[in-house]
Amino acid sequence: MLASTAQTSFAQQQQTTAETPVGAETKEPGWWDQSKSKTLNIVDNGSLAMILSGYARHGRDTYTPERIAELNENAWGLGFSKSIRTPKDNEESLYALAISDSHFQPQFMAGYLHQWMRPLGSKYEAGVGVTALLISRTDYFSGVPFPGILPVASIGTRKSKLMAAYIPRISQNKGNGDVLLVFVRFDLN
């Protein structure tokens, strides 16, 4: 009886192996395929939102009062995003945003944002996350886009949020980085 069961199991395994095409593997998709699939899902199924930027706070310990007086802290700008909720109820977004930078010049940003969301009662929620983006500024690399990774936080509802991204000080020299960019996002769907 035991030998008969073993032969039947072996025969079923051989049949399954014979049905699988040669060279076909059942491996997980690579990071590129996963990223492409995630991006297409956000573009195809995400909710459209408008982003309005309006304030950039320069760290008072990093910049002198004279330098702050010369800088633009009214970082007015406009952008759009597409966002989806993950199965764990977190949020993923693709966005593009143009603002007036600290030197009153245009700054363009586009990227991916992931936030881990937590409910605050029945209507409100807060999130913390990270964004990977490309930034184009006239004072860095002659406007050629360069990559960045920044922390992000938000508070609000699913339809509208007050959000902030923090640009850390990138060197020991004062007067570089340490900027909090504040913006709002309104769902258009």
Domain for residue 21, yes or no? Answer: no
User: Is there a catalytic annotation at residue 101?
Assistant: yes
What is the Cα–Cα distance from 151 to 113, expressed in whole angstroms?
Answer: 9
The CATH number assigned to the domain holding 68 equals 2.40.160.20
pLDDT in tens, 50-107: 999 989 999 998 888 999 999 999 999 999 999 999 999 999 999 999 999 999 999 9
Provide the domain count of the chain.
Answer: 1
User: Is there a catalytic annotation at residue 35?
Assistant: no
Residue 69 φ/ψ, nearest 5 degrees: -60, -25
CA-CA-CA-CA torsion sign (69, 139, 50, 38):
negative
User: Is there a catalytic annotation at residue 102?
Assistant: yes
> In sequence order, which ranges of the chain are alpha helices (DSSP H)?
2-19, 31-45, 65-70
Taking the model in full, what pTM does it have? 0.80
Which entry of 93, 102, 154, 178 is annotated as an active-site residue? 102
Place of tokens 């310990």: 61
Range of the domain at 66: 29-187
Which entry of 83, 101, 154, 178 is annotated as an active-site residue? 101
